[in-house]
Amino acid sequence: MTSEKPALNPQTWLEQHGDYLFGYAMLKIKDTHIAEDLVQETLLAAIAAKDSFAGQSSVRTWLIGILKHKIIDHFRRQNRTIAIDDWVENDELASLDRFFNANGHWIQKPAAFPDPESAFQHNEFWHVFQQCLAGLKPKQAEVFVSKEFYGLSNDEICKHLSITSTNCWVLMHRARLSLIQCLKKNWID
């Protein structure tokens, strides 16, 4: 007895399975427009892959499997995109606005920093730097020192501090901004 693949008719998939796929997507996504887009992407992917359908499950089960992958891809894309409000507090965002015009360009370009080699040779610099470092929040300072002084990788820092890579990046970014402002105020100017 040979097992033949069932005949597939993609023209009926939307009518037969569309509501079920949409309902499933809404349970996971809770956004009508995104759910509709994911169902559409699922049907397009299924049409493109219909020759690989082995017939070991129903068409609906196969389509749900494709939809699950589309939902996972959606969440992965969503996690890669971070709104500035998610990593900058409102007061920090307002303080950054004073540096840029409406087009996002510098209002006044920052002055060139002094030659790092000569600055490092000054004991005063290290004294000021130490004070600036002490002014950071403890986690920011720990991430900065781990990365810049001990040369740890982001993965090592995240594991050591039990934080996500996004959180590590944000802490490092905030530490650098704070150090630049502090050094500019207390050393450069």
The encoded tokens of residue 178 equal: 């704070």
Q: Write down the domain spans for the chain.
A: 10-80, 84-188
* pLDDT tens for each residue of 74-86: 888 876 655 555 5
Please choose, from the candidates 80, 53, 77, 79, the residue with its C-alpha nearest in 3D space to the C-alpha of residue 65. Answer: 53
* pLDDT tens for each residue of 6-20: 567 888 888 888 888
Domain 84-188 has CATH 3.40.50.300: no
* pLDDT tens for each residue of 21-64: 988 888 888 788 999 999 999 999 999 988 888 888 888 888 98
- pLDDT bin (cut points 50, 70, 90) of residue 2 is very low
Per-residue pLDDT, 28: 83
Q: How many CA atoms lie within 13 A of 99 on its CB side?
A: 10
Q: What is the mean pLDDT of the chain?
A: 82
Decide which of 1.10.1740.10, 3.40.50.300, 3.20.20.70, 1.10.10.10 is the CATH code for 10-80: 1.10.1740.10
pTM for this predicted structure: 0.42
Q: Is there a contact between 25 and 35 (Cβ–Cβ < 8 Å)?
A: yes
Say yes or no to pLDDT of 160 above 50: yes
The encoded tokens of residue 1 equal: 């007895």
